[in-house]
Structure 1
Amino acid sequence: MLPPRYNVLGVGVHALDLARATRLVIETSATPRSGYVCVADARSIIETRDDPALREIFNQAFLVTTDGMPLVWRGPPGTQRVYGPDLLLAVCDAGRASGLRHYFYGGAPGVATDLAAKLSQRFPGLAVAGTHTPPYRELTAEEENVLIADIATARPHVVWVGISTPKQERFMARLAPRLEAGLLIGVGAAFDFHSGRIAQAPRWIQRIGFEWLYRICREPGRLGPRYLRTHPRFFWLMLRELLTGRS
């Protein structure tokens, strides 16, 4: 049974913790047409404010997890962070007992294969069904058909997608109905973190909700404009909702 959703500026986010999210992913991943999982943070919530189609994609997801701490603070008592990189590790670890098969799609050239190798070393017995590095553009219809055929041949239970928000959510929503089985999970920067390409923020920075600022300091040219456009707006809208009840 799925946990209840709570509203964050129009997006229904599931109130759960990492252990429960891991169990739900493992239990659901082998079922036909199992759908996709979105990990939500302040930036993705703001993206949905400007794109109703994207908001519908989030609201139609099998799970929407609390990737960002501000969403945890907004949730009901007992809500904990379900961070994409942590969910990836937890599912890879716990899924070994049932032979869960993993497919890694995303990242720059070499990142998906490095990620699979590092995870296999960290979790002996991990079943890697395949990896795929997409181009830095939308797939053509032919490329998408080839990818779907490759996934069908690989027979993964989970397809991990690391191509950033909102591109990965649109991709998962488009692909999910075309796959006969398997759960797609968009984890964005988790590919770069766990392959060793980019350093993660220390846990204490994550806990106080300033991972976004840490990442701006690490990659100001790429991430500065993105986060400075979305995060102040998110906090203003949340404050307005708290004071006036208007979302």
Structure 2
Amino acid sequence: MTEGLGTFPTVLVGGVPTTRITRAELALLMIDDCRRTRADPERLPRLVVSSNGAVIADFHRDASFRNILLKADVIDADGMPLVMATRLFCQEPLEERVATTDFINDAAEAAAKEGIRFYFLGAKPGVADTAAAHFRALHPDLQIVGVRHGYFSAEDEIDICEEIRASGADVLWIGLGSPLQESFALRNQHHLQGLAWLRTCGGMFDHYSGKFRRAPVWMQSIGLEWLHRALNEPIRLGRRYMATNLPAIYYLLTQTTDRQEDVRIARTKLHTTNEDAPVDDRPI
């Protein structure tokens, strides 16, 4: 794990060790990590990922994916159902969800003030460029020092990492879809030394390119944003949600707790179980 601003508690949400952190706290952590890394470029970048229903289902189904998540420094709760589960089963529920499509706005505002440099990696050609233009228009002082689409082979990764490092980026936003983005981040963590953060972001570039609209606030507040997304992308996401929703609900109802002894036991068991699990190194 990478050291940084304070220590944030871990709770089990659907069996996934999840960081109890708010969007504001996460933005402060980003600033702190960027300052530390500029002072000490030998630090490994912090690996920041998100959990949601699909991630929870895959975490229990796929040992390789589980092994990757257990090596992350921060796993935030990107999904209202996760927050709702903690309200049922935890003495101190999560204060809010840290949806990546919301957090990017906090991060961009902080980065513009602090001179933190972003690099966008992922999505189809042109999509991340459009998203970058959106944030540059909102924050004229924001430095997005590089943009690259997410269509490349494993043989290209070293060159891409060198390009990212040469750009002077502090934070790399990786939108390759799960589990590819998480495996890319972990596999290349050492190749991206000098950056402060590797932040997975799913379909964030698509959203801010204007391709898709967010669900209405009322759907977000009751945990139905997944349904809105499935209706917008029925072929890609409809089948995925049918396969992951029921397992996710089961794990949220049976493996959500903030009792620290239970959390400690579960984390010990998970790490012991996954000591020999392979890290997914499939090509992009």
TM-score above 0.5? yes
Of the candidates 200, 204, 223, which is equivalent to residue 209 of structure 1?
223
Aligned-residue CA RMSD (Å): 1.7
Indicate the percent of aligned positions where both proteins have the same amino acid: 31
Q: Are 1:222 and 2:233 counterparts?
A: no
The structure showing larger relative contact order (alpha-carbon pairs under 8 Å, at least 6 residues apart) is 2
- Aligned residue pairs, count: 241
In the alignment, residue 76 of structure 2 is paired with which amino acid?
Answer: T
Conserved? CA contact 1:8–1:74, under 8 Å: yes
Using the size of structure 2 for normalisation, the TM-score is: 0.80
| Distance of 2:209 and 2:7 partners within structure 1 | 31
Conserved? CA contact 1:15–1:80, under 8 Å: no
Partner SS, residue 60 of structure 1: coil
Counterpart for residue 3 of structure 1: 8
Gaps of 5+ in 2: 1-5, 38-42, 87-91, 257-261, 267-284
Conserved? CA contact 1:10–1:55, under 8 Å: no
Conserved? CA contact 2:108–2:139, under 8 Å: yes
In the alignment, residue 71 of structure 1 is paired with which amino acid?
Answer: L
Conserved? CA contact 1:158–1:185, under 8 Å: yes
Shifted more, 226-235 versus 76-85: the winner is 76-85
Of the candidates 9, 14, 27, which is equivalent to residue 22 of structure 1?
27
| Distance of 2:194 and 2:63 partners within structure 1 | 27
Q: Are 1:151 and 2:156 counterparts?
A: no
Measure how far apart 1:241 and its partner are: 4.5
Q: Are 1:238 and 2:252 counterparts?
A: yes
Counterpart for residue 132 of structure 2: 116
In the alignment, residue 93 of structure 2 is paired with which amino acid?
Answer: P
Measure how far apart 1:89 and its partner are: 1.3
| Distance of 1:8 and 1:179 partners within structure 2 | 30
Gaps of 5+ in 1: none
| Distance of 1:238 and 1:102 partners within structure 2 | 34
